[in-house]
Amino acid sequence: MRELTYAEAIREALSEEMRRDDSVVFLGEDIGVYGGAFGVSRGMLEEFGPVRVRDTPISETAIVGCGVGAAMSGLRPVVEIMFSDFVAVAMDQIVNQAAKARFQFGGQFSVPMVIRTPSGSGTGAAEQHSQSLEAWFVHTPGIKVVTPSTPADAKGMLTTAIRDPNPVLFLEQKLLYRVKGEVPEGEYTIPFGKASVRREGRDVAVITYGRMVQRCLEAADAVAREGIEAEVVDLRSLAPLDRDAIVASAKKCGRVLIVHEACTTGGVGGEIAAIIADSEAFFWLDAPIRRLGGLDSPIPYNRTLEDTVVPRTAGIADALRGLARKGASWPRA
């Protein structure tokens, strides 16, 4: 099978959908002439023209607001926010307009809009360009949240997002853009709410998403040499969540490690832990559920400090060792 980078897979999905459906339009800062801040949309202006690939003013409120209005008027806009941190500027448009319009108007309108945005740390872009804010939107009914970790998933899930009648926040971790992977030829979709087991295991269930999937796989390989078999579950979408996959993996392994790049406090990991605790999987646990998230700190500019704020492969491996050892079990009477 051919290989594409994550960025190429996103561009291919968006281009295919624009060729297939004239109602798909693309809006954002520097997406046209410049080709996007991370080069994702290079060549699209030349193919689709300035009416359908529109460079916008530097106003996230205007970009998302235009997208909401366009979606309610019959188009299928894909809007790009240059860094996910800037969704804070457009929170009213996303949370109070896009997410609620269908409910507010009794189903008379839908908002088939995709908000694509680079997320997370690792590029030395400092505290205002490096955050992982997905939990804000998982907490908001009416918007779907997608976090693909591979080029194949990026293409299939973006196609699904563009065709969805609801607003979708499509989070692209910056360090994944250059990652290569096998991508099927032609058009295909991947449903939301269906996790993927990236590695089978029996001792510890590792539940994760986004960039942390690769680090968790590396950590699982490291501890496998010590006889610890970790199962790595890639959630792929956070709203909706694949509750069945979470519960099944927790029951199978009896020990659970939840890993995400976002700050630990208030992160998606807390919801995942609650799903397990509220299910029959709780009675299968041999140890407390452990979360390994980012530090409750802004992201430093210094590269060395930046690397210490989010979970690293070595730290994930240590957490797996701690959970797997006998002393990590629940106290027995």
| Active site (catalytic) residues | 129
* Encoded tokens for 213: 């999937």
120, 182, 110: which is closest to 151 by C-alpha? 182
d(CA 293, CA 261): 6
Alpha carbon distance 264, 228 (integer Å)? 25
Residues β-bridged to residue 53: 26
State the SS3 of 213-248.
HHHHHHHHHHHHCCCCCEEEEECCEEECCCHHHHHH
| Helical packing angle, 268-277 and 243-253, nearest 10° | 70
Scanning 225-312, the segments in alpha helix (DSSP H) are 243-253, 268-277, 303-309
Angle at the Cα of 328 (from 266 to 132), degrees rounded to 5? 25
Tokens at 139, concatenated:
């907490």
Cα separation, 160 vs 166, in Å, equals 11
Residue 102: both structure tokens together: 């269908």
Beta strand 196-199 with 168-173: parallel, antiparallel or unpaired? unpaired
90, 56 Cβ separation under 8 angstroms:
no
